[in-house]
Amino acid sequence: MWLFFKEAHECYQTEVIGCGKLYHRYKKDFLNSHSYTDCQYAAGKNEHKKNFYIMEEFLEEREDLVVIFFTKVDFEYHDYKALHHKFNTTEPPPNGQYLHGKPPSILQTAQDPKPKQDFQCYFDSTQLNLIARHANEVHLFSADVSEEDMRKLFSCQVCKQLKARSNRRVAFFFDILCVSTTYICR
């Protein structure tokens, strides 16, 4: 769900704030481009369908939260958690209060819509620790890596150079990581 909201934020920044696209066009285009999943398992398909309808309800009924959270240049995991909490625990304002047809002043103060580069994933400390441990066990890189090294790698902020021992092994490692997290997250 986090990745879905992060993508919706980046699309909003680019299309609505950056290019001036009408909100109702953004909303329809975004939802139409996420109708289907490539997951082959029933659990994954059900999770995608649930997430899709949550996003649809959010974009249709909670423009107040869209304005609060999607006009921010950066949308981090803690922002998503706050948005998700407000979405689940508060009622929308009366109709018409936050319509994009009458943009509030916060829309005019939005900064550069250029999205921050990252792999668009979120791993907690336990998961990053496991990834680092497995990378070290199979000697993925020429030097051992830490949990912090993996955190920086996935957020495109690598400070030290990571040299692969085998590009093929790195490709397989990340492919398996991608497949397993796609099934879990969708």
Domain count, the chain: 2
Are residues 130 and 101 part of one domain?
Answer: no
Check residue 174 and give its pLDDT.
81
- pTM of the entire structure? 0.55
Segment 138-152, tens digit of pLDDT: 898 888 998 888 888
Residue 63 covered by a domain? yes
Which range of residues forms the domain containing residue 8? 2-108
Percentage of residues in the chain having pLDDT higher than 90: 30
Residue 83 covered by a domain? yes
Alpha helices in the chain (DSSP H): 2-12, 23-32, 42-61, 63-70, 77-89, 105-108, 125-137, 147-154, 167-185
For residue 13, what is the DSSP state?
I
Are residues 135 and 83 part of one domain?
Answer: no
Check residue 31 and give its pLDDT.
93
Check residue 26 and give its pLDDT.
94
Both structure tokens of 62: 């909670």
Segment 66-92, tens digit of pLDDT: 999 999 989 999 999 999 999 999 988
Which positions of the chain have pLDDT values less than 70? Answer: 95-120, 159, 179-186
Check residue 96 and give its pLDDT.
52
